Amino acid sequence: MNVCIIGTGYVGLVAAACLSEMGNDVTCIDVNKEIINRLNDGKIHIFEPGLESLVSRNAAEGRLTFSTDLAEGMQDALFIFSCVGTPSKTDGSCDLSYMDTVAEQIGQHLSDYKIIINKSTVPVGTADRVKAIIQKELDQRGVSVEFDVVSNPEFLKEGDAVNDFLKPDRVIVGTDNVRTAKLLETLYAPFARSRDKMIVMGVRSAEMTKYAANCMLATKISFMNEVANLCETVGADVKEVRAGIGSDRRIGYHFIYPGVGYGGSCFPKDVRALINTAREYGCMSNLVEAVDTVNNRQKRQIADKVIDYFSARGGVNGKTVAVWGLSFKANTDDMRESAALDIIQVLTDAGMKIRAYDPVASENGKKILADNSHVSIMDGQYDPLDGADALAVVTDWNQFRNPDFNRIKKMLVHPVIFDGRNLFSRTFMKDMGFSYISVGRQPVI
């Protein structure tokens, strides 16, 4: 089948690579010439495990091509996926300007029947909006062309995106058109081999499903962070509490880890967008608003702990903190809304210096933090520790789980570790002679 993917980011490039892997002919379109040039040179611009080899294999076999020319890319395609960004506006609502532009461009070039698929995360009603924009362009051109607009939200996770796309828990298709649903079932058949993985529903339900899923996951995280904070105060240990509640099958162990708060390009903006949708329709969203509030507080919590620790020991000014991890979670270079950015801002505002390391997000970090003269990004994991007063672990990269503690202790001025991910055992830290401050557990001082 012939597919055109518009927007070659984390979602678009993964979808394109996986669809071409199944034998489809896929053209990727992006407005960013640099991205397309890099892809045409065989290099990918994002870090995603397994993606580079998939892209290069399918590109070499001629099933995957890259271009900035949408008219050419959509010419032979039956399916046109819109995978452009839908960031937050300053009021928290979803910025649909990239989606609108794509719809206008499709309308300007549409000449035969196509299925336009909204894969980006977009508020309820966006499929109708896209349809109206395309129709307006067709009317202006004075032509009549049939087309369908479908909602097909994406549920992949950065860091495991290729696996998630190849073996999805479910594929949601929102359309009232039975024929369109059948065509999408055929396209997705290699991924959703068991029939119950394919869930066809109304367009608005599909759009809502994506927000409901992300907000449910964000709720679990904020709930557990609130429980963790209470554990610290009342003398409980959140690791033990997690084991206790997770064993209940109605609750389960997934997504109930406390930490530095959720970040990334999805949860924060999608939570805000759902709050905004509720407001727009005059509905209450007390729970989701609380999820957002708890998360904003949690994102700076480990920084507050660093400040409290040094304030009680002569002051924070001029102190240096080594930070391990810049990406919002392990296995990605994505720093969008990463807690590391909040933590670094709070610490540097308080007069501290930061020496940071991340296995893959360092290059992004150098660009994003270029204006903060109190931050240096180092190339080796142990480089930031040299002469630092403390270590703060922010991202849960595997290589941080079992580091050389003797080396850390020798390099730090103060043997103190702030652990935003609860990677280490309190007893072990105590035996090693560290002060150890984590999340939802009693500090080792």
Residue 375 parent element (H or E): strand 375-377
Chain centroid, CA 318 distance in Å:
33
| Contact status: 273 vs ligand NAD (CB under 6 A) | no
Per CB under 6 A, which region of 25-33, 168-176, 180-188, 420-428 contacts ligand NAD? 25-33
Say which residue the tokens 């020991």 belong to: 313
Say which residue the tokens 């406390």 belong to: 258
Mask of contacts with ligand NAD, 110-129, x by CB under 6 A? ----------xx--------
Mask of contacts with ligand NAD, 69-108, x by CB under 6 A? --------------xxxx-----------x--xx------
- Taking the complex as a whole, how short is the minimal distance between the CB of residue 94 and ligand NAD, in angstroms? 8
What is the rounded CA–CA span in Å between residue 361 and residue 271? 25
Measured between alpha carbons, how far is residue 112 from residues 33, 148, 185, 267 in Å? 27, 11, 21, 37
What is the rounded CA–CA span in Å between residue 156 and residue 163? 8
Which residues contribute to the annotated binding site for NAD(+)?
30, 86, 121, 158, 269, 336
Task: Confirm whether 266 is a catalytic residue.
Answer: yes
Cross-strand partners of 171: 198
Per CB under 6 A, which region of 3-11, 198-206, 250-258, 406-414 contacts ligand NAD? 3-11
Binds ligand NAD (CB under 6 A): choice among 4, 156, 215, 218: 156
What is the rounded CA–CA span in Å between residue 325 and residue 137? 47
Q: Strand pairing of 435-437 and 416-419?
A: parallel
Buried-exposed string 105-142: b where 16+ CB fall within 10 A, e elsewhere: bbbebbeeebbbbbbbbbbbebbebbbebbbebbeeee
Which residues contribute to the annotated binding site for substrate?
155-158, 210, 255-259, 263, 329
Mask of contacts with ligand NAD, 37-76, x by CB under 6 A? ----------------------------------------
| Contact status: 327 vs ligand NAD (CB under 6 A) | no
Dihedral in degrees, nearest 10, Cα atoms 279, 284, 288, 292: 50
Which residue, 174 or 440, has its beta carbon nearer to ligand NAD? 174
Which residue, 102 or 306, has its beta carbon nearer to ligand NAD? 102
Per CB under 6 A, which region of 29-37, 51-59, 236-244, 280-288 contacts ligand NAD? 29-37
Active-site residues, by number, are 266
Contact set with ligand NAD (CB under 6 A): 6-12, 29-32, 35, 83-86, 98, 101-102, 120-121, 154, 156, 158, 265-266
